[in-house]
Amino acid sequence: MLVGSAAHAQVPIAAATAGDSLSLETTVRSVLDANPAINALQEEVNQAQSRLDETRTYLKPTVDGTASYTRIDPVVKIPLGDATFQLAPANNYDTHVTARYTVLDFGRANAAINAAKLRALTATDQINVTRRDLAYAAAQSYYSILFAREAIRVQDAQIASLRQHEREMAKRVEGGVSTNFDVTTTQVRIAQAQDRKIDLQSQLRNQEIQLARLLHRPESAVVPVRGRFEYNPQTVNVQDALAKGAENRPEVKLAKDAEEAAAAQLRITETSNKPTLSVLAQAGGKNGYIVPNLERFRFNTVAGAQLNIPIYDGDKNKYQRATAQSAIKGAQARTQDTQEQIRADVLQAVNTMQTSTARYDNSQVQIGQAADALTRAKARYRYGVGNNLDVLDAETQLAQSRLSRLQSIYNYTLGQYQLRRATGEQIW
């Protein structure tokens, strides 16, 4: 078990700033609402449902109407004494309604319906995967923005402290106590700190652009977010997390859908060369009956049955079965690979949280030590028993320790979301 130390209370790094508008919840929900990929997948679900409805019509009878006219010229006439016997009229009319129904197909229609159901289910499950991935990307971008903001504040604090130290040294130079070398060295450290700030500002802007893309807003628009950057340790039971991942991850559901779809396709193949029995009924009217009047339009009916028995297809069905069985084995292998990937995802998330916890504890100690070292270095320098480089090194070490703490909080927070993603828990 990974146990977060109970001694760590929530450590707020910063509160929301004025003008912020998007909390974590609204950020995730806005991304999910704005993304067209989900709408596209929903249309795929609608298409799959329509194909399912179409497949279900195989179980229903079909009825169609037909009307035809045929002109025969010349017509066959047989002379019989003084009379002439005409075998067919020159103008032939035929109208009828035909109903057909498949009585027995040995499960072919049901196999097709089951396969269509699985396709619709797979399309629905794919939406869940996409929503999960988008929610995770939104949360990651959200916390990256908060991290960059706080890191910039740390750099600002370091720059402000160095500038104050520069002003004190300038006074010491005027008094002849220090040299310009100390001032120049401090200015170099200030420039280095400003370089790091520029990098962080670039990182912040990139994350704002990424969030704007997720929200489908113009890249030039700054997307403000608000929230608290906190360290919230939690207890994790690894075995429970592995079990949840194996049961709840949507990828597992998709893999099982693929297995069932492959099995359904095999069933379709197995029934495709089975006999089919269908019946037909037809009612309508036509002329051309010899007795009593060739031109008379008369009501007629037709009824029949048809049995279709496949005899030889050149081993086509045999090879189709082999292909379907291979697809089943491939789907089973992908399911196994998915389970192994889930296990790796859970363990990696837990490892990230463990490492971040250790780094947080270590950074807390470093901050205390660096703050004490800075205080002593300034005092020694003020009384002339220390040098300027000791002060600058202590300033740099304190800033690095604070950034290390921020990085550990950021990594731990993302590790929590990675674990929720790995176990199939809804991110929001």
Q: What is the pLDDT of residue 25?
A: 83
The torsion angles phi and psi of 123, rounded to 5 degrees, stand at: -60, -40
Do 153 and 408 contact (CB within 8 A), yes or no? no
Other beta carbons within 10 Å of 111: 21
Q: What H or E segment, with its residue span, contains residue 307?
A: strand 298-308
Quick check: 103 and 278 in contact, CB under 8 A? yes
Q: Is 314 left (phi over 0), alpha (psi -120 to 50) or beta?
A: left
DSSP states along 251-280? HHHHHHHHHHHHHHHHHHHHHTTS-EEEEE
What backbone torsions phi and psi does residue 195 show, to the nearest 5 degrees? -60, -45
What is the total residue count of the chain? 428
**Cβ-Cβ contacts under 8 Å for 176 (sequence gap 6 or more):** none
Instruction: Answer whether 122's CB lies under 8 Å from 330's CB.
Output: no
The closest of 222, 226, 40, 45 to 122, measured between CA atoms, is: 45
Give the DSSP per-residue string, 33-75. HH-HHHHHHHHHHHHHHHHHHHHHGGGS-EEEEEEEEEE-SSP
CA 339 from centroid of its chain's CA atoms: 18
* Tens-digit pLDDT string for the chain (428 aa): 333 333 333 333 333 333 345 788 888 888 888 888 888 888 888 898 998 998 888 889 999 999 999 998 888 888 877 777 788 889 999 999 999 999 988 888 888 999 999 988 888 888 888 888 888 998 999 999 999 999 999 999 999 988 988 888 888 788 777 778 888 888 898 999 999 999 999 999 999 888 888 888 887 766 678 877 788 888 899 999 999 998 888 898 899 999 999 999 999 998 988 899 999 999 999 998 877 788 888 999 999 999 999 898 888 889 999 999 999 999 999 999 999 999 999 999 999 999 999 999 999 999 999 999 999 988 888 877 778 888 889 989 999 999 999 999 999 999 999 999 999 888 76
DSSP state of 137: H
Alpha-carbon gap, residue 251 to 339, rounded angstroms? 9
CA neighbours closer than 13 Å in the CB half-sphere of residue 75: 17
Three-state DSSP state, 372 = helix
| Closest by Cα among 415, 409, 413 to 345 | 415
Record the pTM. 0.75
Structural domains of the chain sorted by starting position, each given as residue range(s) with its CATH number in brackets: 24-60+105-274+310-423 (1.20.1600.10)
Nearest to 372 by CA among 344, 352, 401, 336: 401
Q: How many other C-beta atoms can be found within 10 angstroms of the C-beta atom of residue 242?
A: 19
d(CA 417, CA 24): 12
**pLDDT for res 21:** 57
Note the pLDDT of residue 422. Answer: 92
CA distance 50 to 117: 10
**CB-CB contact of 346 with 238 (8 Å):** yes
pLDDT of residue 387: 83
| Angstrom distances, CA of residue 36 to CA of 29, 139, 391 | 13, 18, 54
| The Cα angle at residue 71 between residues 67 and 74, in degrees rounded to 5 | 155
CB 37 within 8 A of CB 254: no
Residue 361 contacts by C-beta under 8 Å, 6 or more apart in sequence? 5
- The owner of tokens 């699985």 is 118
276-286 vs 91-104, strand pairing mode: antiparallel
